[in-house]
Structure 1
Amino acid sequence: MTLEGPDPDAGAPALTHFSDGLPRMVDVSNKAPTARTATAEAWVRLPPEARAALEAGTNAKGDPLIVARLAGLAASKRTAELITLCHPLPVTGAEVRVTLEPAGVRVKATVRTTGPTGVEMEALTAVTVAALNVYDMLKAASKALEITGIRLLAKTGGKSGDYEAPSRAPWP
């Protein structure tokens, strides 16, 4: 590995996001547009004082769950601005659910497109930004909030086919 990138003569497999040792955006112009979906989740761990403020509706900034939902929807459409080599995609549909559950605040997003590449990054960005907004809205109640469990739950479409994450208990 050099400062310019991997040594092309080292026999390493070809890297899709590098050409001649330099970063590049993968060319998807020859790929046929197909229907694609991705669902992701994130969890926000709530210390007792943050949960109490949320449940009592006494949070000074307003309802973090509504704000987080809007932030997640906006983030799904702006992913290519945040993830350096991500393609800008026409998001044709997005749902973000932010719910208070016994394990904490669960954020779940499903993003859809018809395009030449998948929307996993859009779904992951949606849940991450939504979780950050929950933190921002509740940080006055407690600085000990914790964002965790960000993962892809499922995807459909594309060359790699469908994917479903193994089931597991909610964030511990």
Structure 2
Amino acid sequence: MKFFKKLFFGLLVLTILTFLLRNWLFWQLFSYQAVGNRPTYAVENPALRTYIESELPENPAKSPQVILKKALRLSARQLHFTATRNHNDPNLLIDSHSAHCVGYAAFTTTVCNELLQHYQLNTEWKAEAQVGQIHFLGINVHPYFNSAFFKDHDFVVLKSQKTGEELAVDPTVYDYFRVVFIRLKK
């Protein structure tokens, strides 16, 4: 009986530590390599514009990191994941509420660019949806899947036009695990 108590306690501590250190662990274990770009969408649907504007904070911290986190939260609140074919245009996703990684990245990119414009940071920063490959401990995981669904994965890169600094996020991973920033493989 003591063995099971110790085992249970050990698993509980391990689970709590994994939860608390999930961002650091993900950063250490996974990296993303861009292999292409996706189109960027402008806000054309009034419902999408209203959704974004209704969530603008009164006293925002105007840092690109805060804006990118806000775009992630808005995307996660609005979308749920589906593996079936779906729209990629955020102007349509605002009504369908379901997306795969391409739609999540497009939605987050559009929201982020709209927030950057609202806070007048759009001349320095620009978000782009990227097509990429995920690497686990430096190994590309995509060749290990036979499905066309897993041939690549979309994520978002926020880039400074002045300094070249890049911040990257995976909106799908954020929605499931609340992992914020991801590491880019150069």
So what's the TM-score if we normalise by structure 2? 0.27
Larger CA Rg, structure 1 vs 2: 1
TM-score, normalised by the number of residues in structure 1: 0.29
The structure with higher relative contact order (CA 8 Å, sep 6+) is 1
More strand by share: 1
